[in-house]
Structure 1
Amino acid sequence: MKNYTITVNGNVYDVTVEEKTGAGTLQRPSTPAAPAAAAAPAAKTEPALQKVSTGGIEVKAGAAGKVFKIEKAAGEQVKKGDAVVIIEAMKMEIPVVAPEDGTVAQIEVTVGDAVEAGAVLATLDPA
Protein backbone atom coordinates (compact mmCIF):
# COMPACT_ATOMS: atom_id res chain seq x y z
CA MET A 1 0.00 0.00 0.00
CA LYS A 2 1.40 3.40 -0.96
CA ASN A 3 -0.03 6.81 -0.11
CA TYR A 4 0.18 9.73 -2.52
CA THR A 5 -1.11 13.28 -2.66
CA ILE A 6 -2.26 14.29 -6.12
CA THR A 7 -3.73 17.46 -7.62
CA VAL A 8 -6.36 17.21 -10.35
CA ASN A 9 -7.77 20.40 -11.87
CA GLY A 10 -6.70 22.36 -8.79
CA ASN A 11 -8.25 19.89 -6.31
CA VAL A 12 -5.90 18.10 -3.89
CA TYR A 13 -6.58 14.45 -2.97
CA ASP A 14 -4.83 11.98 -0.66
CA VAL A 15 -4.97 8.54 -2.30
CA THR A 16 -3.91 5.05 -1.31
CA VAL A 17 -2.77 2.76 -4.12
CA GLU A 18 -3.11 -0.99 -3.77
CA GLU A 19 -0.16 -3.07 -4.89
CA LYS A 20 -0.42 -6.43 -6.60
CA THR A 21 1.11 -9.15 -4.47
CA GLY A 22 1.00 -12.01 -6.94
CA ALA A 23 -0.99 -13.45 -9.81
CA GLY A 24 -4.01 -11.16 -9.80
CA THR A 25 -4.40 -10.76 -6.02
CA LEU A 26 -4.57 -7.35 -4.41
CA GLN A 27 -3.83 -6.08 -0.94
CA ARG A 28 -6.93 -4.36 0.41
CA PRO A 29 -6.74 -1.51 2.93
CA SER A 30 -8.15 -2.33 6.35
CA THR A 31 -9.89 1.05 6.49
CA PRO A 32 -10.98 3.27 3.60
CA ALA A 33 -8.71 6.21 2.82
CA ALA A 34 -10.14 9.56 3.84
CA PRO A 35 -10.21 12.19 1.09
CA ALA A 36 -7.99 15.22 1.58
CA ALA A 37 -9.52 18.63 2.03
CA ALA A 38 -9.82 19.86 -1.53
CA ALA A 39 -8.12 23.10 -2.48
CA ALA A 40 -10.24 25.67 -4.24
CA PRO A 41 -10.38 25.21 -8.02
CA ALA A 42 -8.26 27.63 -10.03
CA ALA A 43 -11.29 29.53 -11.35
CA LYS A 44 -12.73 30.10 -7.89
CA THR A 45 -11.80 33.41 -6.31
CA GLU A 46 -13.02 32.75 -2.75
CA PRO A 47 -9.92 31.76 -0.71
CA ALA A 48 -9.88 29.33 2.17
CA LEU A 49 -9.97 31.15 5.48
CA GLN A 50 -8.73 30.14 8.85
CA LYS A 51 -8.61 32.02 12.13
CA VAL A 52 -5.05 32.56 13.31
CA SER A 53 -3.86 32.95 16.89
CA THR A 54 -3.50 36.74 16.62
CA GLY A 55 -7.24 37.06 15.97
CA GLY A 56 -6.69 37.65 12.25
CA ILE A 57 -7.75 35.73 9.18
CA GLU A 58 -5.39 34.03 6.72
CA VAL A 59 -6.06 34.72 3.05
CA LYS A 60 -4.80 31.70 1.11
CA ALA A 61 -4.12 31.06 -2.56
CA GLY A 62 -6.80 28.97 -4.23
CA ALA A 63 -4.38 27.80 -6.92
CA ALA A 64 -0.66 27.49 -7.50
CA GLY A 65 0.87 30.29 -9.53
CA LYS A 66 2.99 33.41 -9.43
CA VAL A 67 2.14 36.62 -7.55
CA PHE A 68 1.24 39.05 -10.34
CA LYS A 69 0.07 42.10 -8.38
CA ILE A 70 -0.60 43.17 -4.81
CA GLU A 71 -3.83 45.16 -4.68
CA LYS A 72 -3.89 46.15 -0.99
CA ALA A 73 -1.23 47.20 1.51
CA ALA A 74 -0.98 46.65 5.25
CA GLY A 75 -3.35 48.97 7.09
CA GLU A 76 -5.86 49.29 4.25
CA GLN A 77 -9.53 48.55 4.87
CA VAL A 78 -11.10 45.81 2.73
CA LYS A 79 -14.67 44.72 2.15
CA LYS A 80 -15.70 41.11 1.58
CA GLY A 81 -14.89 40.29 -2.06
CA ASP A 82 -12.21 42.98 -2.54
CA ALA A 83 -9.12 41.69 -4.35
CA VAL A 84 -6.12 41.59 -2.01
CA VAL A 85 -3.58 39.81 -4.24
CA ILE A 86 -3.70 38.70 -7.88
CA ILE A 87 -1.93 35.52 -8.86
CA GLU A 88 -1.16 34.41 -12.39
CA ALA A 89 -1.80 30.77 -13.22
CA MET A 90 -2.00 29.23 -16.70
CA LYS A 91 -1.87 32.70 -18.29
CA MET A 92 -4.93 33.82 -16.28
CA GLU A 93 -5.03 36.51 -13.63
CA ILE A 94 -6.85 35.12 -10.59
CA PRO A 95 -7.89 37.55 -7.85
CA VAL A 96 -7.61 36.30 -4.28
CA VAL A 97 -10.31 38.15 -2.40
CA ALA A 98 -10.99 39.16 1.20
CA PRO A 99 -13.33 36.57 2.74
CA GLU A 100 -14.87 39.20 5.03
CA ASP A 101 -14.61 42.88 5.95
CA GLY A 102 -11.47 43.89 7.81
CA THR A 103 -8.08 45.54 7.74
CA VAL A 104 -5.00 44.11 6.03
CA ALA A 105 -2.63 43.21 8.84
CA GLN A 106 0.22 41.90 6.71
CA ILE A 107 1.04 40.93 3.13
CA GLU A 108 3.09 37.72 3.22
CA VAL A 109 4.30 37.69 -0.42
CA THR A 110 5.94 39.96 -2.98
CA VAL A 111 5.36 40.35 -6.72
CA GLY A 112 7.04 37.52 -8.59
CA ASP A 113 6.87 34.97 -5.75
CA ALA A 114 5.84 31.46 -6.78
CA VAL A 115 3.07 30.19 -4.49
CA GLU A 116 1.44 26.81 -3.99
CA ALA A 117 -2.29 26.26 -3.57
CA GLY A 118 -3.15 26.93 0.06
CA ALA A 119 -0.18 29.25 0.68
CA VAL A 120 -0.89 32.19 3.01
CA LEU A 121 -0.76 35.40 0.95
CA ALA A 122 -2.03 37.92 3.47
CA THR A 123 -3.46 38.25 6.96
CA LEU A 124 -6.53 40.32 7.85
CA ASP A 125 -7.75 41.69 11.16
CA PRO A 126 -11.54 41.35 11.36
CA ALA A 127 -13.61 44.52 11.26
Structure 2
Amino acid sequence: MKYIVTINGKNYEVEVERGHATIVKTTETAEKVYVSQPATVPAQPVTPTQATSATNQVTSGDGEPVKSPMPGMILDVRVSAGAAVKKGDILFILEAMKMENEITAPENGLITAVSIAKGTSVSTGDVLAFLKT
Protein backbone atom coordinates (compact mmCIF):
# COMPACT_ATOMS: atom_id res chain seq x y z
CA MET A 1 0.00 0.00 0.00
CA LYS A 2 1.15 3.53 -0.72
CA TYR A 3 0.45 6.45 1.57
CA ILE A 4 1.22 10.16 1.41
CA VAL A 5 2.38 11.54 4.75
CA THR A 6 2.96 15.27 5.37
CA ILE A 7 5.57 16.18 7.97
CA ASN A 8 7.00 19.69 8.48
CA GLY A 9 5.83 20.96 5.10
CA LYS A 10 7.07 17.99 3.08
CA ASN A 11 4.99 15.26 1.45
CA TYR A 12 6.48 11.79 1.67
CA GLU A 13 5.06 9.07 -0.56
CA VAL A 14 5.60 5.93 1.51
CA GLU A 15 5.13 2.34 0.44
CA VAL A 16 4.34 -0.11 3.25
CA GLU A 17 4.58 -3.87 2.82
CA ARG A 18 4.64 -6.46 5.58
CA GLY A 19 5.47 -3.93 8.28
CA HIS A 20 8.36 -2.34 6.35
CA ALA A 21 8.08 1.25 5.09
CA THR A 22 10.07 2.70 2.18
CA ILE A 23 10.04 6.36 1.07
CA VAL A 24 9.28 6.46 -2.66
CA LYS A 25 9.16 10.23 -3.30
CA THR A 26 9.47 13.50 -1.36
CA THR A 27 7.91 16.84 -2.40
CA GLU A 28 7.40 20.27 -0.81
CA THR A 29 3.87 21.34 0.16
CA ALA A 30 2.37 24.74 -0.58
CA GLU A 31 1.88 25.55 3.07
CA LYS A 32 3.99 24.76 6.10
CA VAL A 33 2.58 22.37 8.70
CA TYR A 34 3.81 22.82 12.24
CA VAL A 35 3.75 19.91 14.64
CA SER A 36 3.84 20.59 18.37
CA GLN A 37 5.21 17.12 19.14
CA PRO A 38 7.56 15.05 17.01
CA ALA A 39 5.84 12.41 14.90
CA THR A 40 6.55 8.83 15.90
CA VAL A 41 6.00 5.49 14.23
CA PRO A 42 3.49 3.32 16.12
CA ALA A 43 4.99 0.35 17.95
CA GLN A 44 2.27 -2.07 16.84
CA PRO A 45 1.38 -2.56 13.17
CA VAL A 46 -1.67 -0.73 11.84
CA THR A 47 -3.75 -2.35 9.11
CA PRO A 48 -4.16 -0.31 5.90
CA THR A 49 -7.95 -0.09 6.38
CA GLN A 50 -7.50 1.45 9.85
CA ALA A 51 -4.92 3.93 8.63
CA THR A 52 -6.82 5.27 5.62
CA SER A 53 -10.50 4.98 6.44
CA ALA A 54 -10.25 7.17 9.54
CA THR A 55 -8.31 10.00 7.88
CA ASN A 56 -10.07 13.03 6.43
CA GLN A 57 -13.54 11.58 7.00
CA VAL A 58 -16.44 13.99 7.53
CA THR A 59 -18.79 12.30 9.99
CA SER A 60 -21.76 14.63 9.76
CA GLY A 61 -23.44 16.72 7.13
CA ASP A 62 -26.73 18.11 5.98
CA GLY A 63 -28.94 15.44 4.42
CA GLU A 64 -28.92 11.67 4.18
CA PRO A 65 -25.61 9.79 4.20
CA VAL A 66 -24.54 7.87 1.08
CA LYS A 67 -22.79 4.79 2.49
CA SER A 68 -20.37 2.27 1.05
CA PRO A 69 -22.19 -0.97 0.22
CA MET A 70 -19.00 -3.05 0.55
CA PRO A 71 -15.36 -2.77 1.61
CA GLY A 72 -12.89 -1.60 -1.00
CA MET A 73 -10.76 1.25 -2.36
CA ILE A 74 -12.14 4.49 -3.80
CA LEU A 75 -10.72 4.78 -7.33
CA ASP A 76 -12.54 7.96 -8.37
CA VAL A 77 -14.60 10.71 -6.74
CA ARG A 78 -16.91 12.22 -9.36
CA VAL A 79 -18.74 14.78 -7.19
CA SER A 80 -17.87 17.61 -4.85
CA ALA A 81 -19.76 19.51 -2.18
CA GLY A 82 -22.41 21.74 -3.74
CA ALA A 83 -22.96 19.54 -6.82
CA ALA A 84 -26.53 18.92 -7.96
CA VAL A 85 -27.12 15.25 -8.83
CA LYS A 86 -29.95 13.22 -10.30
CA LYS A 87 -31.01 9.73 -9.24
CA GLY A 88 -28.59 7.25 -10.85
CA ASP A 89 -25.70 9.73 -11.39
CA ILE A 90 -22.32 8.15 -10.65
CA LEU A 91 -20.85 9.60 -7.44
CA PHE A 92 -17.90 7.26 -6.78
CA ILE A 93 -16.03 4.34 -8.33
CA LEU A 94 -15.25 1.69 -5.71
CA GLU A 95 -12.85 -1.18 -6.39
CA ALA A 96 -13.74 -4.35 -4.53
CA MET A 97 -12.33 -7.80 -5.31
CA LYS A 98 -10.67 -6.51 -8.52
CA MET A 99 -14.00 -5.17 -9.83
CA GLU A 100 -14.96 -1.53 -10.34
CA ASN A 101 -18.35 -0.72 -8.80
CA GLU A 102 -20.30 2.46 -9.48
CA ILE A 103 -21.82 4.10 -6.41
CA THR A 104 -24.80 6.11 -7.67
CA ALA A 105 -27.07 8.80 -6.25
CA PRO A 106 -30.13 7.18 -4.63
CA GLU A 107 -32.29 10.31 -5.18
CA ASN A 108 -32.23 13.71 -6.90
CA GLY A 109 -30.59 16.29 -4.67
CA LEU A 110 -27.58 18.33 -3.65
CA ILE A 111 -24.28 16.95 -2.33
CA THR A 112 -23.65 18.84 0.91
CA ALA A 113 -20.40 17.12 1.92
CA VAL A 114 -17.97 14.53 0.55
CA SER A 115 -16.41 12.40 3.29
CA ILE A 116 -13.66 10.57 1.43
CA ALA A 117 -10.95 11.12 -1.16
CA LYS A 118 -9.55 9.13 -4.06
CA GLY A 119 -7.33 6.30 -2.80
CA THR A 120 -9.16 5.89 0.51
CA SER A 121 -9.93 2.40 1.79
CA VAL A 122 -13.50 2.08 3.03
CA SER A 123 -15.47 -0.51 4.96
CA THR A 124 -19.09 -1.53 4.54
CA GLY A 125 -21.29 1.26 5.90
CA ASP A 126 -18.65 4.02 5.82
CA VAL A 127 -20.19 7.38 4.91
CA LEU A 128 -18.98 8.54 1.48
CA ALA A 129 -21.06 11.73 1.13
CA PHE A 130 -24.21 13.50 2.30
CA LEU A 131 -27.14 14.08 -0.06
CA LYS A 132 -29.87 16.64 0.68
CA THR A 133 -33.07 15.94 -1.26
For the aligned pair, the TM-score class normalised by the smaller chain equals: 0.5 to 0.7
- Aligned-residue Cα RMSD (Å) equals 1.4
Q: Normalized per residue, which structure has more helix?
A: 2
Structure 1 residue 57 corresponds to structure 2 residue 56: no
Structure 1 residue 109 corresponds to structure 2 residue 109: no
In structure 2, distance between residues paired with 1:122 and 1:102:
12
Change (3 A) 1:54 1:73: closer
Please state whether the residue corresponding to 1:110 is helix, strand or coil: coil
CA-to-partner distance for each residue in 1:13-58, whole Å, 9 max, x for gaps? xxxxxxxxxxxxxxxxxxxxxxxxxxxxxxxxxxxxxxxx865010
CA-to-partner distance for each residue in 1:43-81, whole Å, 9 max, x for gaps? xxxxxxxxxx86501000111000110011111110011
Please state whether the residue corresponding to 1:62 is helix, strand or coil: coil
Change (3 A) 1:109 1:55: closer
Identity of aligned residues (%): 41
- Unpaired runs of 5+ residues, structure 1, are 1-52
In structure 2, distance between residues paired with 1:86 and 1:61:
11
Give the TM-score, by structure 2 length: 0.53
1:89 alignment partner in structure 2: 96
8 Å CA contact retained: 2:110, 2:131:
yes
Consecutive aligned runs of 4 or more in structure 1 exceeding 2 Å deviation: none
